Homo-oligomer: A and B are copies of this chain.
Amino acid sequence: KLEWDEVDQRAVDTVRALAADAVQKVGNGHPGTAISLAPLAYLLYQKLLTHDPADTTWDGRDRFVLSAGHSALTQYIQLYLGGFGLELDDLKALRTWGSKTPGHPEYKHTKGVEVTTGPLGQGVANAVGMAMAARRERGLLDPDAAPGESVFDHQVVAIASDGDLQEGVSGEASSLAGTQELGNLTVIYDANSISIEDVTDVAFTEDVAARYEAYGWHVQTVDWTRGGDHTDGEGYHEDVQALWDALQAAKAETTRPSFIRLRTIIAWPVPKLQNTGKSHGSALGEEAIKGLKAATGLDPEKTFAVDDEVLERTRGLAARAAEVRKDWDARFAAWQEANPERAALLARLKTRTLPEGWTDSLKSFPAGKAVSTRKASGEVLTGLAGVLPELWGGSADLAESNNTTMEGEPSFLPPSRQTRSWSGGPYGRTLHFGIREHAMGAAINGIVLHGGTRAYGGTFLQFSDYMRASVRLAALMEIPSIFVWTHDSIGLGEDGPTHQPVEHVAALRLIPGLAVVRPADANETAYAWRGALEHTESPTGLVLSRQNLPVYDREVFGSAEGTLKGGYVLVDAEGDLQVIIVATGSEVEVAVAAREQLQAAGVGTRVVSMPCREWFAEQDDAYRASVLPPSVKARVSVEAGVAAGWRDIVGDAGRTVSLEHFGASADGARLMQEFGFTAENVVAKAHESLQ
């Protein structure tokens, strides 16, 4: 039963005034949605969500995602009112240097923000990932509890705007959520039919509710416009009870994700500016703000005004949460006692600590038989399955090609979705994202953000372009998402230039904070996984070959452990060191062959394998100078992609063996030959560099 009195209503109106005041003070921002969604935000933060202002990382909390990140004030004002750590001065500092209230909500920057949002559509897909993670976490920690009875049962609630639902990534993720029957997920769609180009009819006329029904969601509509049009506020009624009922029904629906289409008027009840594109992304102006305050019974002359009574009510959340928490803590203690091993696992997962001795399970590969690094990666994963229950993942419909399945592990699928090829259950481990790279990236971020488990997702390196926005957000959020990108160069062969990544490795390296690891052989691949798993505050992309590559005999060659340092001497010069060949991935083989020829001609040649430029850059000067002595200016880089970036390594005197154009459809070996990735060409470049 919803309790709602005059103080609640005043609090909601206060939210509107604060939103308007905060944007007006800094002179820019997005007031409209924060104003019209004030009742929803208040309802969620004060009444619906299970959370604790005193402990924003509490395992039992519901997760809230503001997919409509531009309406950051929707979240900030509630974090202030609810006492999560923001104060009035933070709202006054909106969008200014050093504030806790940046233009869009930022994870790790503002307490209580679960995810960085703003790039539209991402938040919906993050929420889908969180809901998947919640189910997997329950499966790991408390699988036998009755539905709704586990301390790990919680909801994921997201607010999405018209823009979020126009973006393809949200559609991809929502279709997946339907297949996955994510009953713990609720998306509230703020259907105000206004975006920056004003009334959305110019571009967005579909029946969104029907689309979500087609995805298999539980769909409700709450229409505060009462079937009316959006041209004025007449007859508009913020029916909080109806919204509450819909939210309760969504929560009660546990076999399908829920979609609530909430028809609103943006910026209601701001005189003249409600229902305009202008109110979406601009300061309203003092007159309009006064009008807003007058319309809601607040003092038009006051700014940033909050009644004591309002704040007392909203800060009462702490006490109310403490009550809930007390009960939860008791149940949690009972769970701990009954499940000591699982409790130990949870403690480990919370800190992302890897278990003692886990590296013993890292597969090591004997020299001799050539193996593709994608295949090696699959074997590494299978080897880790037993010791790292937190690790799970899958592919965007390329499981067999990406080698992302841990052998024998069940699929993460509702009973109804299993096929002759894939069996499993709702707590399974192998993920099937479908042909939806973008949603995969965002869902993996959501899984990682949820906490507990860690997920990886695979596709062809070419299609890292489709998911690039999500990869960037993983880097921006400093979260350890892992991306497995196979078929990493023209070496993939016949599929041709549409599938051959030429610029992708270089382009991914540009994302600040992302480690891009392109191992040269199976053992480097094992260490690449180790490095990825040991980096818990940044994402990693593994770049793997389709084709077989020699497995180097590490009695003869440098230890593959050098992978963890990003670059190392794979094989040193005999005699004086005259030239250094630096290569990555499949081109290391070419470098080694070139070295043979150069040494035979009396040129002392070192081969440096440099699987990860970012990890190499993290090493101290002394180590880097030991690998690349500054005095040795003759250098050649070899990588089957654009050279960009290698000049930093090879210097003015160096040469790059690269590919500055698109590939072609033919077998991979032929392409490598045609495009100059041969020992002969590298030798020639080495001689040029020596001159």
Contact = CB atoms under 8 A, between A and B. Distances in A.
A662 B510 contact: no
A420 interface: yes
A172 B214 CA distance: 16
A556 interface: no
A401 interface: yes
Interface in A197-217: 197-208, 210-211, 213-216
Interface string A637-662: 00000101101100110000000111
A163 B397 contact: yes
Nearest to A174: B206
A99 B665 contact: yes
A671 B465 CA distance: 29
Interface stretch (A47-55, A430-438, A562-570): A430-438
A593 interface: no
Interface of chain A, helix or strand or loop or mixed? loop
Contact of A216 (B205, B499, B651): B205
Contact of A674 (B70, B97, B465): B97
A510 B642 contact: yes
Nearest to A417: B201
B670 A202 contact: no
A433 B207 CA distance: 17
Interface in A115-130: 116-121
Interface centre among A201, A206, A497, A648 (most CB of B within 10 A): A206
Contact of A399 (B167, B178, B197, B648): B197
A590 B622 CA distance: 35
A468 B504 CA distance: 11
A367 interface: no
A104 B492 CA distance: 14
A330 interface: no
Given A102-B664, A202-B432, A648-B647, A465 B468 contact: yes
A411 interface: yes
B397 A197 contact: yes
A511 interface: yes
A691 interface: no
A196 interface: yes
A644 B642 contact: no
Nearest to A26: B494
B419 A199 contact: yes
Contact of A506 (B162, B510, B660): B510
Interface centre among A70, A438, A674 (most CB of B within 10 A): A438
A395 interface: yes
Nearest to A195: B397
Given A26-B494, A197-B397, A466-B469, A102 B205 contact: no
B206 A178 contact: yes
A553 interface: no
Contacts of A310: none
Contact of A503 (B116, B179, B511, B652): B511
B162 A196 contact: no
Nearest to A400: B196
A512 interface: yes
Interface of A: 26, 28-29, 69-70, 95-99, 102-104, 106, 116-121, 162-163, 166-172, 175-176, 178-179, 195-208, 210-211, 213-216, 277, 395, 397-401, 411, 413, 417-422, 432-436, 438-439, 462-463, 465-466, 468-469, 472-473, 475-476, 493-499, 502-503, 506-507, 509-513, 642, 644-645, 647-648, 651-652, 660-662, 664-667, 670-671, 674
